[in-house]
Structure formats: structure tokens, C-alpha cells
Amino acid sequence: MSDTLFSKIITREIPADIVYEDDLCLAFRDINPQAPIHVLLIPKKPIPKLSEATADDHALLGHLLLKAKAVAEQLGLDQGFRVVINNGDDGGQTVFHLHLHILGGRFLAWPPG
């Protein structure tokens, strides 16, 4: 069970600019945006990182990808967007509650560096 600041955003103990919520997930704007639109989409279930997801999370992970698409549409990212999951220390993960970064609003170079 991870208890991170994202858990506190889910419970509203920490404020966030929430753009989408349903029974399974929450999306809010990143506090340090790396693009004009930078939203974090998190499951309400506190999975620390993708590599700790299990077969029990099959439907939840599918739900998150489809909601990433829906949130991108909602925010007008009709020219394209990027979805990123940082996993573990070498992956650059700093908050150990699984999250999808949804980035857009400008051209995003690849590789990101």
C-alpha cells in the first residue's frame, strides 16, 4: 500500500487542478508542466509503479489508456499528444503511485533526452 502525495490528492487533502474523475481514476494538471498541457492520470488504487501491476489490474490498465485518450480529447489535443509512464528510479519516477503523463499542446521531439 503506497501512501504518497497522489493519495492525498485523491482524498482532497492536497489541492490539485482536477480535469477528470471517475470511480477508478483521477486526472489533474502537473504542478511543473513540461508542455502547454501536462496532465497526470492516476488510478485510485495505489499501485506504486507499472512493474508492480498484476493480472488483477488488467481491466484497470486498459481503463487508464482509454481515459488518457478521452482526457486528451477533452483538453483539445487534436494535433497529437504523448502518454508517458516513468517506472522506477532509472525510469525517472519520483512519485511512487502509478501515473500516466499526458503531454501536448506543442511539438514533442523524440527521443526526449
Binding site residues, ligand 5GP, CB under 6 A:
5, 14, 16, 28, 30-32, 40, 86, 92-95
HSE, side-chain direction, 13 A CA sphere, residue 13: 7
Nearest distance from C-beta of residue 9 to ligand 5GP, angstroms: 7
Nearest distance from C-beta of residue 37 to ligand 5GP, angstroms: 13
CA 83 vs CA 28, 64, 108: distances in Å: 14, 11, 11
Told to judge if 38 belongs to the known catalytic residues of this protein, a careful annotator would answer: no
Catalytic residue among 38, 63, 97, 99: 99
- Of the pair 92, 112, the CB lying nearest ligand 5GP is at 92
Distance, in Å, from the CA atom of 60 to the CA atom of 5, rounded to the nearest integer, reads 21
Nearest distance from C-beta of residue 45 to ligand 5GP, angstroms: 17
Distance, in Å, from the CA atom of 1 to the CA atom of 106, rounded to the nearest integer, reads 36
Instruction: Give catalytic residue positions.
Output: 99
